Structure 1
Amino acid sequence: MTNKPFNQLVVMRDRIKANRQIKDCDKLFYQGEFWAKVFDQQMGIGRQDESDYQQFKQIFRQSMDLSQLTGLQSKKLIEACLLFVKKLFIDENMDNYKKQTLSASVSFLKRKWSDVNWIITIKKSSTAQYQLFNQLKKYIDGECFKQVLSRVLDQLEQQDSTRYQEIARDVYFTCHVLHVIKCIEKNDDLKIFIHQDMLYLGLASTKQQVIALYQTLSSSVGKEYECYFAHFSRPLCLQGYTIKRDWQLKKICIEVPQHMLIKCAHMFQYGDFHNQIPKIRGALIHQPIEQIHSIYQRELFQIANYFVDADNYRSLKKLFYFAHLSLLKTIARKFDCTMGQAAKQLKKYQLNRYPLPKKDMIRSGHAKQVNWRAVYIEKVYVRF
């Protein structure tokens, strides 16, 4: 061990990059500086007394049942092991590559992809079943430490599967994609972003260079991930958006395609948008008229909020109008009247037709129904 534990982490990272094993991993967990980083970065609770980390020596020195730890002790150990994994096995720029929201991904594409010619897409295979520990164990020398790390990661998977899967994905991308890319010269023009379980590489290279990189990555990711490449003249589909490169204006265009309007109308039961046949929503006719109006309004606000970054945002007006026809049909069925009389009923209750909100109103949160960050609709659009 070096005098400074984070200097030792540098040495360990270098050994891992050279495909060599790292030793004395447990000694990191006896260092006050390491635990100070755990408490500060991972747990956000500030520096703790030395006794808080000295007690963990017994875990690594002898076979100790982790169930004997208190809830807080177990949490501290999990966070310490995750910091260990993050510092050694996850690329230092990973947080810059990851885009946590669809808006962040779209913004990155608009700013960085205007000169991209080719796209390599890497996504998790539907049959992929790998464990995080299996990716780490070959680099670690020390059976006792490996046993503890394995049990801690199993505990994390049971308690927080989402976080576990995210870390497993980041480790896999680091070892099988990012490490491979950095070993290949002349990839300074590479644009990387990660959204959910997919990694996108944008390149301005020649076709021959892209094919060579694609073949290398396909071999590296194996069966766990699927690898594709395509020219950017073919639009990129990203969770309901169509991403196009305008070759003349040298900019990226973000659009809502027609088929997404059709799918939105089908999902919310407005009717057949393609043939412009609105539908009665029979399940709503027993609700008060104000409630029916509010349901339609909330749904349309969700759609507008989800597609707020689209360059053709105003095309949503067609869907808004179609939804209004569905509302009129539903109200007409409720009162057993014509659609014209249904419109008068809405006017009687001072329930106006919904205008398409302006983009700046959505982004500032000043439009009606402030709390509609479209959690529901975003989950649905993961399928597309």
Structure 2
Amino acid sequence: MSAGGWSAEQVAEALIRSGELALYLIDGEGRTAFANAEALRLLGYDEPAALIGRPSHETIHYKRPDGAPFPAAECPLLAVRLQGRGDRRDRDWWVRRDGSMLPVSYHAAPISTATGPGVAVMFRDLTATLRAEDERRRHEVEQALLAEVRASRARIVEAADAERRRLVRDIHDGAQQHLVQAVISLQLARGAAGPGDAGPAPLIDEALEATRRATAELRELAAGIHPAILVHRGLAAAVRGVTARSRPPVELDVVEARFPPSVESTAYFVVAEALTNVSKYAEASRARVRVAVEGDDLVVEVRDDGRGGADPARGTGLRGLRDRLEALGGGLAVGDAEPRGTLVRARLPLTPAGGPGPAAT
């Protein structure tokens, strides 16, 4: 049979000599009978004479990758010669001249030689393939570990938020209620003392004022830990509450919806911290807060028209918020706004953190 005027023998010879395919022949005595240039290169031989005529198994197949001996009786290449049946291996390990291991895939077929049944082996180097597989597995392991770290950090944030809410409830139901009862009791005592009573009345008035101040401070403390309005009425109401006290005046554009507790609390603290910085450092005449859903994220923006030049690395507040956002799979960006001022932009995934996400831009 011919192909384009070429005989089968000519085609085979062209393939053998092309260097694209590694060809290795074993004669009827189990010795290396031939190796083309590509086979010699892969096996680490500079010249055929160093390989030809040597026992095949004892030269290229005598040990396993872990260094354990590989008995000739178990050699699949020799089995092809003895049994007269072809064999295909997707992965095997041969020994180079320097003793290092060469990963190969091959197809072995029985052939007739002058010394008896032999074997023709076409093989391919798998080094690059195995390296790519190792890299892929390493990447998968790293991604799995990263996902677990992110999920773990998110669980820590959520647990901390739950503890904040519990602490605020305890303050409200415990110490704050006791102080309210103390105020009521002091008011009753003050009423019983009478307006002209100069004895205990001043002391009662002093205690009443101190108790009222303690109640107000405790209420402020609880709001700083976790605002009750955030729990009961949601993010929009909580943002309106914090901006109502803000100086400079704040323009609001906040979505009216409820979100997961950790998302709402983080978004709230971004707004509160950013507005605190505006009030302290920006020298701004006004600010704008925008909270919106964009795709699968909640985006929080606080913009002012102040002097700009904000540096989140210099303050612990924004650094802590960045850590919190990243723990939830989000990000924080702080930079100059156009035409002037500062823009704080946070992005919060609305689905549970578990994989890497792009940083806020």
Report TM bin, short chain. under 0.3
Greater strand content: 2
Tell me the TM-score normalised to structure 2 length.
0.23
